[in-house]
Structure 1
């Protein structure tokens, strides 16, 4: 039994007594708890399930926990989904693993439903708790599951939107957010200490404020890095920010670092398995940069990486005033248009997606549509898609910390009223105060008072415009170098087929289509 469990939990760095497995860290009394200390804490709360559930509901950090009891199994993933867990019900037993490939058998098949396939092709993640494989499921962000025999009880420890009551809304000011941001970062600063930090730096607000906070708390061993197409629009601002903060800056030029035959490089396929896990698009945006930094010995296994996720969720950058004024239907259409790949689906297939999103994420008539929109964004995009991209750093054995994904910040911003999220006034103005203090208040965003609106008419025109005209309208040369990366992906296996997305420069669509066929090929080879 012990060897079997150890085999099922081998992807991440687990601490275990062969009954309890813990990965990652939590905060306890402002101290970072991990490894043996984390294991002992969990062990003291496993006499009864209610004790374990109460403790799990109080945890803040990036972690996963699995507990094997004589007649039960308990598993929980943190609100960040940093260490995804998967399970399979064979009818006689429940098997849980950090690697869904360990749960495959000779009867494993791809999902046959059009919903699962089209949802994945549209968003780059599988719907809710499903995976691309029948009868293999994922534990959701902030979810605790109790397995007893063939019964399953699910508890959402961190629903991003709780039951809404307008009378609970209160006013907020910059000072309140400012103080909380510094209090939260103090914990991360204490944990980092003298370690080397890699800050993926863009021209945006989120990475810039992390750079300022590192400076504020006296961290000297900081490396800033930007990557993509030569001299893309992020580089000049990022270089200037790093210089003002007194940190070294590296630019990884993808025209030099991305080999033409990268799909044949020995690390590539293991990377795809590690980051895709049958449920999320494997991100290639960061892969080449981290590989280069590691090979050039600029970073190593002791380096701590600080991505700026999920700043756009906190600030409300995807909200618009129509979400407050219009219906659920508008919100769902905006989800598909704003976050989707524009993969060409029939109207009936889009309707199927809309019905699923409505039933799964818009089931509370008392909760405003914009908050339920945020719930979808938090779970399906920020955790399973964008947050999942941090596994690129984990693959190259570097520690990842996401200060902006701290539970206290999420709780604070889910209480912020719509008026202070629309156009991001609270978030942006607070960060700009910090930028001014550190003399990096340049190349700032122009405030959008009504947010980014979704236009059904524009969407209709897009679907019916000839491809050659769309290529003239949409800039095909992207800042990341995805045009060339996805061209190599498409040429890597001539047996794979592709459909052109309605937005021809949505290169993620090609990676998603490639991965879906890659998984199908893998499943066929198992039989």
Structure 2
């Protein structure tokens, strides 16, 4: 078995000689280099050492006998490996290892998962024989082809159980201060660009920069018009005294820009071997670039965060919760993109992946174990492979990015809080609103898709549920909303007309499911060929 030289396509990789027989390669924050060098220079304790590293990175350690691939806790820069035909190969690009086009070798289990979730779970990718390193994982591949893996960071609860609001505010603020101060020192005056929605996460970043006195800030928002979310974003930026830009989404411009060779390259780059490309702010970032509205060395700060990854919080109140119940919650929360999701619920490999995950975290039915299972699966799978993978968009257009609310201190601080705090976003909403009011002297509600109170909505739902019409009513409302999506997401569909898309969503399908089907069949963009012969007409 031979170890071939790593196939590294990113220009930002940096190498460090640790010894005559050991070389370290690092990509990401340059501050991570010294931390990793020190860890490798001392004997033993690699996993323990990695738990102390701050910043976002991926790393390779090459020796005469093996290659070790290291992902930070959020898989900031994807890594892949294959063991095939007596050759061990590693790369930062799945396309460098997988067979594509007319020779595409499919991982059919992954394709089934992908249709229903927009990503491939565990170490699997869309390419047979190609594996990905998971978030927070260390994978070693020996010259003989043996593969071992261990996780150095996961969502865990420390047992501190901080619950008092004042104490929680103080603890979370201290963690955010640590990550943001590091970011601001690194930025050193460079322009910071925030995709400002009407919600909490991006608002907290804008507020923090205001409080810190950082002036070179640009907020941007996008959509089909001056919707309520757009208006809230504009008000937030104005109250903070920060620059705000609005990118109008126009159907003709979206469709003509999407079906281009440039976008074909975008799809190939951003899918990262296992993920549906995140198109939400693709057009807006492209617009900012083309119009020269942000600096070339700007750093984008999306509001991705460790906060709020819990779902089905009522499960925490049940006296007993079995593994099967947790497994069902994971399946019915994450694998829902098609009108009929039965195939994925019967996928043996996925079921085994979830079982192995529950074994790994030592699921024991306790409240904290339930929290860990649901939050950590969300963080490691959907957040890492779909939401956080959206940073590939910024990279594609040549911009840097940072995720301070997913860096070490904030990640760990979340695990110090009481489950009554982390089970939902109630405390967090209050925290962001308190900081916003303090910074601006104003109160401003967050964007909500409906102006009807929760109490009234629940009452109507109860009536509809009692006569068996709730599911149909919800699907009909969703289908109508998709037809007039405030961000024009329906315009990214090529293979369905308006009536077909309405039928698809009214039957329980999700826009991401439609995207996934077109992506997997190379019909999302007529010039993108990943899984089919380049000489075959699109859609054939």
Confirm or deny a common fold (TM above 0.5). yes
Partners of 1:498 and 1:510 within 8 A in 2: no
CA distance in 2, matches of 1:523, 1:405: 33
CA change 1:303–1:503 in 2 (3 A) is: farther
Q: Report the equivalent of 1:477.
A: 484
Change (3 A) 1:467 1:215: closer
**Residues 351 and 523 of structure 1, relative CA distance in 2, 3 Å threshold:** closer
* Preserved contact between residue 189 and residue 217 of structure 1 (Cα < 8 Å): no
Q: Secondary structure at the match of 1:268?
A: helix
1:303 to 293, 298, 306: 298
RMSD: 3.5
Q: Cα deviations across residues 390-414 of structure 1 (Å, max 9, x unaligned)?
A: 1101111111011111111111112
Shift of 1:143: 0.5
Equivalent residues in 2 for 1:69-88, closer than 5 Å: 69-88=63-82
How far off its partner does 1:180 sit?
A: 2.8
2:221 corresponds to 1:217: no
Q: Which of 348, 352, 356 is the matching residue for 2:347?
A: 352
Q: Is the 8 A contact 1:125 1:384 kept in 2?
A: yes
Q: Residues 105, 175 of structure 1: CA spacing in aligned structure 2 closer, same or farther, 3 A cutoff?
A: closer
The one-character-per-residue Cα deviations of 1:58-112 (angstroms, maximum 9, x if unpaired) are: 2121100112211111110111211000111114121110001111358651113
Match runs of 1:444-523 below 5 Å:
444=446, 465=472, 476-486=483-493, 488=494, 500-501=504-505, 506-518=510-522, 522-523=530-531
* Aligned residue in 2 for 1:203: 198
Q: CA–CA distance in 1 between the matches of 2:302 and 2:243?
A: 17
Q: CA contact under 8 A between 2:482 and 2:490: conserved in structure 1?
A: no
Under a length normalisation based on structure 2, what TM-score does the superposition of the two structures give?
0.82
Give yes or no for the alignment of 1:65 onto 2:72.
Answer: no
Q: 2:234 aligns with which of 239, 243, 250?
A: 239
1-structure distance, mates of 2:256, 2:511: 18
Q: Deviations over 1:181-216 (max 9, x none)?
A: 223322212222211111110111111110011111
1:388 matched to 2:389? The reply is yes
C-alpha separation in 1, matches of 2:530 and 2:370: 40
Task: Flag the 1:109–1:235 CA change in 2: closer, same or farther, 3 A.
Answer: same
After TM superposition, list the pairs within 5 Å mapping 1:378-417 onto structure 2. Answer: 378-417=379-418
Give the match for residue 11 of structure 1: 10
Structure 2 counterpart SS, 1:298: coil
2:284 equivalent in structure 1:
289
SS in 2 for 1:73: strand
Query: Contact (CA 8 Å) 1:20, 1:66: kept in 2 or not?
Result: yes
How far 1:41 sits from its partner (Å)? 5.3
- Corresponding residue number in structure 2 for 1:117: 111
| Further displaced range: 258-267 or 233-242 | 258-267
Report how many aligned residue pairs link the two structures. 495
Q: Return 334-343 or 366-375, whichever deviates more.
A: 334-343
Alignment partners' CA distance in 2, 1:347 and 1:340: 9
Give the Cα–Cα distance (whole angstroms) in 1 for the partners of residues 131 and 339 of structure 2.
27
Listed as ranges, the matches of 1:165-184 within 5 Å are 169-172=161-164, 173=167, 174-184=169-179
Unmatched runs of 5 consecutive residues or more in structure 2? 18-22, 536-540
For 2:358, the equivalent position in structure 1 comes to 362
User: What SS is found at the alignment partner of 2:68?
Assistant: strand
Give the Cα–Cα distance (whole angstroms) in 1 for the partners of residues 473 and 182 of structure 2: 53
Indicate the residue corresponding to 2:538 in structure 1.
none
Q: Is the 8 A contact 1:341 1:508 kept in 2?
A: no
Q: Deviations over 1:116-143 (max 9, x none)?
A: 2221111101011100111100000011
Cα distance in 2, alignment partners of residues 259 and 125 from structure 1? 24
1:268 alignment counterpart: 263
Aligned to 2:59, the other structure's residue is in SS state strand
In the other structure, the counterpart of 1:20 is 24
Aligned CA distance change for structure 1 residues 394 and 44 (closer, same or farther; 3 Å): same
Change (3 A) 1:257 1:160: farther
Tell me the distance in 2 between the aligned counterparts of 1:142 and 1:187: 21
Query: Is the 8 Å Cα contact of residues 138 and 152 (structure 2) preserved in structure 1?
Result: yes
Inter-CA distance 521–200: structure 2 relative to 1 (3 Å threshold)? closer
Distance 2:423 2:126 in 1: 35
2:303–2:405 CA contact under 8 A, matched in 1? yes
Per the alignment, residue 230 of structure 1 pairs with 225
Equivalent residue number for residue 335 of structure 1: 330
Report the counterpart of residue 444 of structure 2 in structure 1.
Answer: 442
